[in-house]
Each structure stands twice: as C-alpha cells, then as structure tokens.
Amino acid sequence: QKPTVIITGASSGLGLAAARALGQSGDWHVVMACRDFSKAASAAAAAGIPKANRTIMHLDLASFDSVRQFVDNFRNSGRRLDVLVCNAAVYLPTAKEPTFTADGYELSVATNHLGHFLLTNLLLEDIQNAPADSLKRVIIVGSITGNTNTLAGNVPPKADLGDLRGLASGIDGRIAPMINGGDFDGAKAYKDSKVCNMLTVRELHRRLHDKTGITFSSLYPGCIAETGLFRNHIPLFRTLFPPFQKYITKGYVSEEEAGKRLAQVVYDPKLSKSGTYWSWSNDSESFENQVSEEVSDGAKGQKLWEISEKLVGLA
C-alpha cells in the first residue's frame, strides 16, 4: 500500500490544493475528509486528482458523532495511516450572534479546534501502527494570528483565550460563546480557535512525541486571500483583500503555492522536527517561525488540553 494522508476540508482552498499536489505526485493516497461529499467529488475531478490516488470520506467536524463515525469508516477501509492534516476551518467575521453545534459549542471553535482535537486523539493509534518506513506526522494548520512578529498578527480583535473560563463552563453543560467568557465576536472566535490549534500541536509534541515517534507540526502557509474562508465577509472586503495582500503586505500566496507548502510539511524529510511552526519566506524557503507569547504558554496548552479532553468525551 502507498502511504496514506488524511486531509480535512479538502473540498476547497488550501486543503484541495495540497490534496492535488500529493495526489498528482503518485507517491500518496489522499483521503479527502469532507462534509459535502458531492462538492468534494467535483472539486477533486476538476483539480485533476487521479481517482486511483484518492478516496473521499464524509466528515463533519462540527459533530463529535460524525468524527467518531469517520474514524470507524476509515478503519474499515483497511488503509494504513501515515499523516493526518487538520486543515478545515470556518471563519464567521460578520456574524452578529453565535451559532452553536448540536454538541453545544460555538461553531468556529467546535469545528476548527474541538473536532480536530477529537479526530487527532482517535487517530494517533492508527498512525503509530503504520509500517516502519512511515513518516508518521500530524499537522494542524495554524495562522499568523498565533505569531505576533507580523502586522496581521496584531490586527484587532486579537486572539485571547484569557483563563479559558468560557470553554471550561462547557464541562457543566453551560453554553458560553467565547473561550475567555466574553461577548461573542466572530472574527475573534476564529483567531482564538487558531491559537487553540497551535497550542494543541505544542502540547501533542510535549506529551506524545517521545512516546510515539510522531512528528507534530503547525504552519502558516501565507495569506491565501482568495479561498472560500472569506466567503462570509462583506463584499468590499473580498474585493480589496487580495490586492491589499499582494501589493501592500506582500503576504499573498496563490492556492497552488500554499498547497505545495502544506504538501511539503507532509512529505519533506527536512521538515521532520516535531513541535515546529513552519513558515515560508517570499522566495518560498521554509523556516522555523516564532509563535506568540500566548501560544508559547505551556501551562495554557496543558489547561486547554485537559478541558478539551472533557468536552469531546475522552476524559
């Protein structure tokens, strides 16, 4: 069997571009884990990912039941698992009111963080069981929001998990829209969820790298200003954001280039240092980036892990 990589949210944007890069290389079998099966099937066909190198499987990260069902289905497929890429995300910057999932959590944190947290924990065992030649990696897509050495990382509303009291209140079944217990802000909820993604990678590394030999990494592929992520933003933003990123911040990157960067974190032996947050210079050289103060807070990472374990039903 070829090495297998699971990519969540591979029906558009970065996930699709990475699935294409890996699926067309012929070295990988790509499991596209998507909430909309027919959208994923047309996207895969339009992107020219050979059928023999891909499988589409249903996964709705906004539902813990769906995550568990996906893991069962994947196991029943009999495939080996080498790399898990947690890529899917929703961004709801103009929402005035929070949306809650059936499990009772705010939609962006539930999808981007909690769903991936459960998925990763369940699939660690499968990655550990991969053959000896396996690269064994877990990658969670981060964001500049989690590093403060860029202008964009400092644009308000800034991410801030506070003491996680809002998230922790979910343990008693209470519904708090924001992790820090504050008032709902859709843009901040997304940024908070990306900080959770990056804290989770560091905590996975701390807890499990030595024990499992799995490489855990995060990345910021650049600003892919034209993806579906911005579909819920106001039209003026969607018109001005791509040229702003291209000509002013120069952080713009095409979907194709971003997909190659994510694919590189999947296969490149040079990018095997666990616990790393990868970024790329303008000439597309990868480098180890610095994370923000909040993301480097080990005690916060540990607390987030303990609360998340309870919320998803693992503890």
List contacts with ligand NDP (CB under 6 A). Answer: 8-9, 11-15, 34-36, 39, 59-62, 87-90, 111, 141, 143, 194, 220, 223-225, 227-229
List the one residue out of 273, 305, 310, 298 whose CA is nearest residue 288: 273
Q: In the complex, which residue's CB is closest to ligand NDP?
A: 13
Q: How far is the CB of 86 from ligand NDP (least distance, A)?
A: 8
Contacts 24+ apart (CB under 8 A), 43-52: 43/10, 43/11, 43/12, 43/16, 44/10, 44/16, 44/19, 47/16, 47/17, 47/19, 47/20, 48/20, 48/24, 49/19, 49/20, 49/23, 49/24, 50/23, 50/24, 50/26
Q: Residue 137: phi, psi to the nearest 5?
A: -135, 150
Q: What is the dihedral of CA 192, 194, 198, 201, to 10 degrees?
A: 110
Residues 6+ apart with CB under 8 A from 265: 137, 139, 217, 219, 271, 278
Q: How far is the CB of 224 from ligand NDP (least distance, A)?
A: 4
Residue nearer to ligand NDP on the CB measure, 39 or 310 = 39
Q: How far is the CB of 178 from ligand NDP (least distance, A)?
A: 18
Q: How far is the CB of 162 from ligand NDP (least distance, A)?
A: 21
Per the CB < 8 A criterion, the answer to whether 105 and 192 are in contact is no
Q: How far is the CB of 254 from ligand NDP (least distance, A)?
A: 11
Residue nearer to ligand NDP on the CB measure, 90 or 266 = 90
Q: How far is the CB of 222 from ligand NDP (least distance, A)?
A: 7
Kindly report the CA angle at 195 between 194 and 198, in degrees rounded to 5? 90
Residue nearer to ligand NDP on the CB measure, 84 or 130 = 84
Residue nearer to ligand NDP on the CB measure, 184 or 241 = 241
Residue nearer to ligand NDP on the CB measure, 245 or 274 = 245
Q: What is the per-residue DSSP string for 193-232?
A: HHHHHHHHHHHHHHHHHHHH--EEEEE---B-TTSGGGTT
Residue nearer to ligand NDP on the CB measure, 71 or 130 = 71
Q: How far is CA 123 from each of CA 4, 22, 94, rounded to the nearest angstrom?
A: 13, 20, 34
- What are the structure tokens assigned to 66, written together? 């769906």
Q: How far is the CB of 297 from ligand NDP (least distance, A)?
A: 21
Residue nearer to ligand NDP on the CB measure, 53 or 101 = 101
User: Strand pairing of 29-34 and 54-58?
Assistant: parallel
Residue nearer to ligand NDP on the CB measure, 65 or 210 = 65
